[in-house]
Amino acid sequence: MKIGEVYFIRERDRLDGANSQNVKIGIVKDVARDSQERLKDHQTGNPRDLELHHVTQTPGPHRVETFLHQKFGPNRVRSEWFRLSDEELEFAVQTAERMAAEAFIQFQFFARAEELKKVVSSPEKIAPSEESTRWIIEWSKATAALKICKQMSDNYKDLTKQLTPDDREQVELEELVVTEWYTKKKFDKGKFVEKYPGLLEKYNVVDVTVGGNCVKKSHDVDLAEVDRDLTVFSLSFQDSCDQVKRGEAVFGDLFDLHQILERFIGSYTWDEEVADAHLRVICGSSAGIDGQVTWNRTTRERTTLDEEWLESDHPEKYREFVTTETLSRLKTNRRARRAAPPASQHPS
């Protein structure tokens, strides 16, 4: 679990130095790339001065961002920009700090859950408790929400694959999606063994680990009761997909909704991971929780071929059976910004 940042960027008038009420609430998923760099990204090409008002470091930054975006939905100007009074901005900052403090508390459970993954379990399960029941319900809610999100995400990916050449050219010009080229390498182990029998034995590495899947029994969840906002959004998203398919809307309109979808996914992924960690900690070294969780962990032996070692010792023989293929795929450009209305109406 990486620590990210939630940042608040304000616009400042170049003439009198006064701050406007336009505030961008965004995130950096990993502090390896901090909010100062994001500020530089946003400042490039922006005629107004921007300043980094506040930064909150937190695990699961999507969760904080999603909450604030929903809280200040009526104040939204465009995308991640909101019109906030000084009092509203201060409330947003305090809320981010409070949620971050709560998130850091969960860190101890993530750490303990990781330790328990390496512990061979006993054959017995423990009895369910109020605490385990609460967390299995929370896990079920998050899982149900993520299932809906995945359906929307799959629909979006399908549409990117079905773009006409003209549509594809347009979305690439707007940098809403980018073409990513990558190389796929394949080593034909079978043919190598046929030609050089016995040579691979030396390069087979045996790893002994402890492992086992943690399987939860999901509760029935009414998503409309869990998150009405997500339910309404999913209907809007599907309607937009249908409009794009019928040629009644452009792909760029759907791109804006996809950015919102990613925030939902980030928030519910955090909720799912927190619930999962708590359930693992409750299991401890047992094989699970009766009627709720099964987590059998046993010693496993796995044999894998160390291809790097093989190539190092026998480069010509190895490369004789390696084929490479250059492929491409469309990927959503998460940092893209669609063309905005005039500056007098919207911030950049």
Helix axes 61-71, 86-116, angle to 10 degrees: 150
pLDDT, tens digit (0-9, with 9 covering 90-100), for 246-302 = 888 877 777 778 878 888 888 898 899 999 999 999 999 999 999 999 999 999 999
* Closest to 173 in 3D by CA, of 328, 333, 47, 340: 333
Q: Tell me the C-alpha distance between 259 and 83, whole Å.
A: 19
C-alpha dihedral sign at 224, 253, 243, 262: negative
Radius of gyration of the chain (CA): 25
Domain extent listing, the chain: 1-116, 118-348
pLDDT band at 121 (very low <50, low <70, confident <90, very high): very high
CA geometry: angle 65, 70, 71, nearest 5 deg: 95
Can you name the residues that pair with 78 across neighbouring β-strands?
A: 81
Poorest-pLDDT segment among 21-35, 36-50, 284-298: 36-50
Q: Tell me the C-alpha distance between 95 and 114, whole Å.
A: 29
Q: Taking the mean position of all CA atoms in its chain, how far away is CA 56?
A: 19
Q: Tell me, what's the pLDDT at 336?
A: 46
Poorest-pLDDT segment among 53-62, 280-289, 314-323: 53-62
Residue 200 has pLDDT above 60, yes or no: yes
Average pLDDT over residues 30-35: 63
Phi and psi, residue 227, nearest 5°: -150, 95
